[in-house]
Amino acid sequence: MAMSMRNKAFKPKMKSLKVRAQRIKSEIGKIREDQRCIREEQRNIGERFGDVKRQCDQLREETQVIMKQTACNRFRLIVMFNILRAREEGDFDKAVTFTRFLKLVSLVHTIQAANSMMDSPAKIGVDRSDMFYAW
């Protein structure tokens, strides 16, 4: 009889332990799911951050190209202005010298632009084998 009394007293404790264990297991399951969602979101954020970084690098490169083109155009305008001034002053030798210099600068700029295109044809969506097909 002492044994059955013990079993009866022990059963409620066992039930409460089982209930607590089940609750803890379900909480652990929820935590695992939350952690999985957090890892997935971190992965997505990392990918988006990489995309933004690539776009930033591309914009930086494009800005550098625009700055170089602007400087070259400004230089050419200065030479053109000197040609006009020399012609106004009647100094045609100086005008011819500036004109030849302008042609040389334009040629160098054209060659540099072609070389930069050869260095990175994929940037403008051109297959390297097709670049000089028309030639």
Owner of token pair 């097709």: 130
**Domain with 62 in it:** 23-117
Inside any domain, residue 51: yes
Inside any domain, residue 10: no
Inside any domain, residue 46: yes
Inside any domain, residue 5: no
Q: What is the mean pLDDT of residues 39-61?
A: 95
Inside any domain, residue 11: no
Contact 83, 98 (CB under 8 A): yes
Inside any domain, residue 130: no
Average pLDDT, the chain: 82
Domain count, the chain: 1
In the chain, the percentage of residues whose pLDDT exceeds 90 is 59
Confidence (pLDDT) at 131:
38
Confidence (pLDDT) at 133:
39
Q: How far is it, in rounded angstroms, from Cα 90 to Cα 88? A: 5
Inside any domain, residue 48: yes
Inside any domain, residue 32: yes
Q: What is the mean pLDDT of residues 50-66?
A: 95
Alpha helices per DSSP H over the chain: 2-88, 92-119
